[in-house]
């Protein structure tokens, strides 16, 4: 029997399936969240305020719990690979905070009357094997009948409160390092449209399967305070969230940003996923309260695009929704080169892509 093709079930797969950041931000601003009476808010080290990668609650002076969840529809046709990538993506939020993963729960939406159960078995095995690689355990989960299928994890991790890494601690003068190349959303779309070659597609799958576990280890080694993982809102979408949380401007040098092989060629052929335009809209309409109105808008992005090699299409990859992407790390200039060297031994695409600057009229500058 031929293997079931998971990509046949979706239009948007992986982190491209996220609700647009602009819509989500407005929705969350309209919801009235309340703390229960007597709740000690000072122990909630990271919550909703900064749109960070995970929630963090301080248990005592030595230990804080990191709690996160992530799930999505398939981004590839092979069930086992889907399970691996979905698990790696969910685990990444703990690594973004500098933490160690303890355990996870499966989140499964699967139509058992439409797709053979062997497919679900392969998805789960991929998740189990990736969590094992993380030196953690899957301790249960929850399953509902739903189409298209979706898979992910709820994850618990731990960290010492004094070593917590957040998206709110970038400081002017820091150097920005990106640990994985951009373009996975475009490669996935290219595969669905039969526009990508198999070699480049395989490279993208391998990059997405790679855990960010060693990034977390090296960030702790070099006492990094600010980082975020790059997923569904694209490099610039997550960069804006870091800039807002830290009250800084991130200056991105486009020519230094690493891209997956074939990603730029696909954009040149017109393969630009819809999520890229949603992320672009969010970034274009997000500027500091003290900024001159309209400093960062669509015409501004087009103007910047004309100034970089590769032009508009390369710029659009900065908005590309990443699945199981890399970390954007803010590191002091004196530690940047040695950290980069150690990262490149494990994550060969790692690159210095810009600097953190004082906040003036814009959260993001592209040069």
Ordered DSSP codes for 113-181: TTS-HHHHHHHHHHHHHHHHHTT-EEEEEEEE--SS-EEEEEEEEEE-GGG--BTT---TTPEEEE-S-
Ranges in the chain, pLDDT < 50 = 1, 292-303, 305-306
* Residues forming beta bridges with residue 357, ordered by sequence position: 249
Query: Left if phi > 0, otherwise alpha if psi is -120 to 50, otherwise beta: which for 142?
Result: beta
CATH domain 6-163 topology: 60s Ribosomal Protein L30; Chain: A; (3.30.1330)
Query: Are domains 6-163 and 175-366 of this chain identical in fold?
Result: no
Each domain of the chain, given as residue ranges in start order, spans 6-163, 175-366
So what's the pLDDT on residue 50? 81
CATH of 175-366, one of 3.40.140.10, 3.90.650.10, 3.40.50.2000, 3.50.50.60: 3.90.650.10
Q: How far apart are CA 223 and CA 163, in angstroms?
A: 7
Q: Which residues contact 115 (CB under 8 A, 6 or more apart)?
A: 4, 9, 149
Cα angle 137-142-145, degrees, rounded to a multiple of 5: 140
Q: What is the DSSP string of 36-72?
A: PTT--GGGEEE-TTTT-SSEEEE-SSS-EEEEEEEEE
For 40, 48, 65, 161, the CA distances from 44, given in Å and listed in that order, are 8, 10, 10, 11
Q: How far apart are CA 171 and CA 154, in angstroms?
A: 31
Q: Phi and psi dihedrals of 183, rounded to 5?
A: 120, 0
Strand order, beta sheet including 150-159: 44-46, 55-58, 64-72, 150-159, 100-109, 137-144
So what's the pLDDT on residue 310? 53
Between the two ends of the chain, the Cα-to-Cα distance in Å is 52
Q: What is the DSSP string of 175-215?
A: EEEE-S-B-HHHHHHHHHTT-S-HHHHHHHHHHHHS-SHHH
Half-sphere exposure of 308 (CA within 13 A, CB side): 23
Global pTM reads 0.92
Instruction: Please state the length of the chain.
Output: 367
- Which residue among the candidates 15, 76, 271, 286 is catalytic per the annotation? 15
Query: Pick from 183, 173, 165, 342: which is nearest to 273 by CA?
Result: 183
Q: How far apart are CA 4 and CA 116, in angstroms?
A: 8
For 2, 61, 188, 339, the CA distances from 110, given in Å and listed in that order, are 19, 42, 21, 42
Number of H-type helices and E-type strands within the chain: 12, 12
Tokens of 289: 């309260």
So what's the pLDDT on residue 282? 92
Q: How far apart are CA 45 and CA 124, in angstroms?
A: 32
Summarised one tens digit per residue, pLDDT across range 252-298 is 999 999 999 999 999 999 999 999 999 999 999 987 876 544 444 44
So what's the pLDDT on residue 48? 80
Say if CB 329 and CB 179 are below 8 A apart: yes
Active site residue 15: yes
């Amino acid at each position: 029997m031929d293997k079931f093709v998971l990509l046949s079930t979706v239009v948007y797969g992986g982190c491209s399936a996220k609700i647009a950041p602009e819509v989500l931000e407005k929705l969350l601003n309209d919801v009235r969240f309340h703390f229960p009476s007597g709740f000690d808010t000072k122990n909630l080290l990271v919550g909703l305020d900064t749109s960070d990668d995970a929630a963090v609650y301080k248990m005592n002076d030595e230990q804080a719990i990191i709690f996160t969840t992530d799930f999505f529809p398939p981004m590839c046709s092979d069930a086992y690979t889907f399970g691996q990538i979905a698990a790696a993506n969910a685990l990444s939020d703990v690594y973004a905070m500098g933490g160690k993963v303890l355990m996870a729960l499966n989140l499964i939406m699967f139509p058992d009357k439409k797709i053979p159960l062997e497919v679900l078995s392969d998805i789960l095995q991929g998740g189990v094997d990736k969590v094992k690689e993380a030196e953690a355990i899957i301790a249960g989960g929850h399953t509902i009948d739903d189409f298209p299928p979706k898979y992910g994890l709820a994850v618990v991790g731990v960290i010492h409160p004094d070593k917590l890494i957040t998206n709110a601690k970038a400081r002017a003068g820091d150097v920005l390092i990106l640990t994985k190349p951009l373009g996975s959303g475009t490669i996935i779309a290219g595969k669905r449209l039969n526009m990508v070659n198999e070699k480049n597609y395989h490279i993208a799958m391998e990059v997405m399967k790679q855990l960010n576990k060693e990034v977390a280890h090296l960030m702790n080694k070099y006492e990094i305070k600010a980082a975020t993982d790059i997923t569904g809102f694209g490099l610039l979408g997550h960069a804006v969230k870091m800039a807002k949380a830290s009250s800084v401007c991130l200056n991105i040098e486009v020519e230094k940003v690493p891209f997956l092989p074939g990603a730029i060629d696909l954009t040149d052929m017109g393969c630009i996923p819809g999520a890229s335009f949603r992320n672009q809209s969010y970034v274009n309409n997000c500027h500091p309260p003290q900024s001159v109105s309209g400093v960062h808008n669509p015409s501004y992005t087009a103007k910047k695009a004309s100034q970089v090699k590769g032009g508009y299409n390369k710029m659009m990859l900065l908005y590309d929704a990443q699945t199981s992407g890399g970390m954007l790390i803010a590191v002091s200039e004196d530690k940047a080169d040695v950290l980069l060297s150690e990262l490149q031994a494990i994550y060969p695409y790692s690159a210095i892509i810009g600097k953190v600057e004082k906040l003036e009229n814009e959260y993001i500058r592209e040069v």
